């Protein structure tokens, strides 16, 4: 059963703000807006990506996917490669450390219908970098030309990379890697404004991102600490970046892509608890189509429901009830009742990060 449209009231708000979007091109890749959904582990699967496109994301990127899992034909890994036919601007992100293995996996991934292939060079978690993948790839720039060529030579769709500012404060080599990427024909470089050593602590180094964007011949996509429409709008006003990637912010405020583009003429547009409940329903429809195991569906829906409830009164009690309820119909009804009691209230979200993992 195809997802139902949003209510007329909500759809009108979405459509009004979508008129503020301006399409962009990053190399050979086109997006409907300069605001892109960043790759997040266990989150940016087709249901969430579809929802984000519905709500104004100019494009999306899949969660990081192991090249070895693809090459071993692991069923769960191959499922992660799926692209929904309704997705318009999606990239598939791979991680690995061996040129040949990454090339083989990229060739397979490209057949699933993505618009571009992205290489994860930013994931800081030990189990990834310990094998030489993720942010560990930034430690040996001399090996990158061969790695990039190995992938580019076997795919016909564009190739991009996502990096960090460096391995640590003593090895801030993003500029060198951007230069190599330009020499090797990479379409754009997304930069998370922290080193691998910083993980997700502290504040993103936007001074470095902006300087790279100002001087680079390649399009630069900035990423880090863009958690609210206010912070995104402020960055859009001053940035040298051709686009921005939003990671954790959309999890609590899925309207952030639209609200960040609002003007003074849009002051009457507000999103309330009623709208958030509609979002949950749409996500449930998409997720029910994608996940064939009820347990997986329940896990995915629970985490998104409590994130979307963040900022509303009595959310801690609600969160506890959701996580202790196993029946999908029961916690969906519980959620419906929770949002219904809030009526037209707006949520209050701070500019502080609320997750400490998941984004490369």
Catalytic site positions = 123
Q: Phi and psi for 250 in degrees, rounded to 5?
A: -65, -20
Judge contact between 156 and 110, C-beta under 8 A.
yes
Closest CA to 331 of 353, 299, 354: 299
Q: Is 245 in a helix, a strand, or coil?
A: strand
The 8-class DSSP code of residue 359 comes to: B
Q: Is 130 in a helix, a strand, or coil?
A: coil
> For the chain, first and last CA: distance in Å?
34
Q: Is 37 in a helix, a strand, or coil?
A: strand
Helix H segments across the chain? 8-18, 46-54, 67-71, 75-80, 99-110, 126-129, 144-152, 174-183, 206-215, 229-238, 249-252, 256-259, 273-290, 294-309, 315-323, 328-342
CA dist 100 to 73, 142, 151, 154, Å? Answer: 16, 17, 8, 10
**How many whole angstroms separate alpha carbon 33 and alpha carbon 259?**
13
Written as six digits, the tokens of 274 are 């009623």
Closest CA to 225 of 84, 137, 351: 351
Q: Phi and psi for 66 in degrees, rounded to 5?
A: -70, 130
**How many whole angstroms separate alpha carbon 198 and alpha carbon 194?**
6
Burial class (CB in 10 A: 0-12, 13-18, 19+), 187: buried
Written as six digits, the tokens of 110 are 């490209």
């Amino acid at each position: 059963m195809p997802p139902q449209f949003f209510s007329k009231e909500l759809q009108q708000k979405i459509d009004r703000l979508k008129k503020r979007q301006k399409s962009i091109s990053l190399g050979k890749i086109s997006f409907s807006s300069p605001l892109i959904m960043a790759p997040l582990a266990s989150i940016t699967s087709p249901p969430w990506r579809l929802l984000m496109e519905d709500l104004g994301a100019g494009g999306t990127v899949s969660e990081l996917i192991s090249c070895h899992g693809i090459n071993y034909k692991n069923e769960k890994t191959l499922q992660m490669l799926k692209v929904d036919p309704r997705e318009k601007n999606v990239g598939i992100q791979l991680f690995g450390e061996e040129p040949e293995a990454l090339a083989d996996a990229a060739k397979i991934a490209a057949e699933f219908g993505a618009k571009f292939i992205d290489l994860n060079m930013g994931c800081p978690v030990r189990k990834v970098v310990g094998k030489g993948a993720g942010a560990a790839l930034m430690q040996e720039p001399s090996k990158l030309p061969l790695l990039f060529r190995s992938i580019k030579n076997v795919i016909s769709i564009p190739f991009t990379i996502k990096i960090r500012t460096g391995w640590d404060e003593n090895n801030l080599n993003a500029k060198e890697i951007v230069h190599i990427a330009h020499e090797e024909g990479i379409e754009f470089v997304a930069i998370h404004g922290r080193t691998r050593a910083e993980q997700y602590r502290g504040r993103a180094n936007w001074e470095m991102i902006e300087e790279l964007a100002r001087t680079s011949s390649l399009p630069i996509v900035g990423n880090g600490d863009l958690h609210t429409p206010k912070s995104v709008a402020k960055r859009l006003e001053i940035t040298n970046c051709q686009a921005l990637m939003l990671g954790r912010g959309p999890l609590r405020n899925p309207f952030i892509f639209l609200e960040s583009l609002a003007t003074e003429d849009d002051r009457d547009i507000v999103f309330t608890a009623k709208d958030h409940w509609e979002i949950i329903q749409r996500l449930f429809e998409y997720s029910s189509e994608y996940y064939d195991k009820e347990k997986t569906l329940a896990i995915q829906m629970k985490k998104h429901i409590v994130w979307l409830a963040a900022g509303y009164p009595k959310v801690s009690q609600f969160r506890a009830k959701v996580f202790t309820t196993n029946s999908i119909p029961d916690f969906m009804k519980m959620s419906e009742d929770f949002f219904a009691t809030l009526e037209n209230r707006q949520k209050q979200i701070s500019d502080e990060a609320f997750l400490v993992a998941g984004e490369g």
